[in-house]
Amino acid sequence: MATRARIAIQQGKQIIGAYQHWDGYPGGLGYNLVDNWYTADKVTKAIKLGDSSKWGSFIGEKIDFDDRHADSYD
């Protein structure tokens, strides 16, 4: 069973956010954010990639899972 979460950051008067499906509890995502996501710039870049299964420790590439013909799946 997933522990879903939303990660958000305020930019001026606007708040942007992204959904995370797995390990959204404080001992999972909470520690990950403290250990790896301590700059607003890094968090903003990751959020702008969109929703995710789980945040890791670095910003990867956006993957279109609906594109069944993408080169990255060969």
Contacts of 14 (CB under 8 A, 6+ apart): none
Domain map of the chain by residue range?
1-55
The better pLDDT of the pair 69, 41 is held by 41
Statement: residue 70 has pLDDT above 70: no
Tokens matching residue 45? 């870049």
Q: What is the pTM of this model?
A: 0.79
CB 20 within 8 Å of CB 51:
yes
Of 13-17, 57-61, 65-69, the one with minimum mean pLDDT is 65-69
More confident residue, 61 or 4: 4
Within 8 A by CB and 6+ apart from 59, the residues are 42, 45, 46, 49
* Percent of the chain at pLDDT exceeding 70: 93
Residue 18 pLDDT exceeds 80: yes
Map tokens 């959204």 to a residue.
Answer: 24
